[in-house]
Amino acid sequence: MAKKTGDRAQLHELLYQALETEIGGIRLYKAAVACAVNQDLHKEWEDYLNETTTHRQVLLSVFELLGLDPETRTPGREVVEHLGASMVRAIEMARQAGDPIAAQRVAAECVVLAETKDHANWELIGLACDHLQAKEAKEAEVLRQAYDAVHRDEDHHLYYTPRAGRASCGSTRWASPP
């Protein structure tokens, strides 16, 4: 029974961190878009900003359906918020330094870091669906629908952005992903 309670607490902690990751991602993409010199990268990050906004809304619906308070703060969530704010600050620092290409590269590196966490969150949410017990069917269904709505976006976010390294070397266009 104690293990069950612990598992439930861990799942909720994952959801709090996932929500904070999406909130931080919105701020990060706004900062990154402002640094994008490459036209394709600018469009891609604008699209990811919109998708990240949708992901936050998907999670808010999950919170509502599961009766969780989206304002709840946890130590892990505080760390996620701190890291997100630090990356936005890093992008602003690079922008103020006056080298647009270097600032774009810093933004791309921060996006990759943030998307690594975002992708991991959703992978874990998908795994959690598979491990919930039969009497937790409602919770599993809510999480499954959220996972199905988001996880392909997260694959794309994580695996596309490293191409920004090419843009950071000075090109203003390069081929979009298939």
Do residues 17 and 121 touch, judged by C-beta distance below 8 A?
Answer: yes
Using DSSP's 3-state secondary structure scheme, residue 66 falls into helix
Two structure tokens written together for 163 = 């191409």
Q: What is the DSSP letter of 129?
A: H
Q: Which stretch binds Fe ion (CB under 5 A): 28-36, 77-85, 154-162, 170-178?
A: 154-162
Stretch that binds Fe ion, among 59-67, 71-79, 87-95, 147-155 (CB under 5 A): 147-155
**Candidates 11-19, 60-68, 104-112, 149-157 — which segment interacts with Fe ion by CB under 5 A?**
149-157
Identify the three-state secondary structure at position 101: helix
**Does residue 118 touch Fe ion according to CB under 5 A?**
yes
| DSSP letter (8 states) at residue 176 | P
Neighbours of 80 (CB within 10 A): 22
Nearer to Fe ion, 76 or 171 (CB): 76
**Residue written as tokens 């070397």?**
169
Residues 6+ apart with CB under 8 A from 103: 35, 91, 94, 95, 97
Query: Cβ distance 38 to 167 under 8 Å?
Result: yes
Of 157, 163, 164, 167, the residue at the interface with Fe ion (CB under 5 A) is: 157
Site size toward Fe ion (CB under 5 A) is: 6
Tokens 């199905």 belong to which residue?
148
- Looking at the Cβ atoms of 40 and 154, the one nearer to Fe ion is 154
Q: How far is the CB of 137 from Fe ion (least distance, A)?
A: 26
CB of 115 to Fe ion, least distance (A): 5
Q: Any contact of residue 55 with Fe ion (CB under 5 A)?
A: yes
Q: At its nearest, how many Å lie between Fe ion and the CB of residue 14?
A: 14
Q: With binding defined as CB under 5 A, does residue 95 bind Fe ion?
A: no
> By the criterion CB under 5 A, which residues form the site for Fe ion?
52, 55, 115, 118, 154, 157
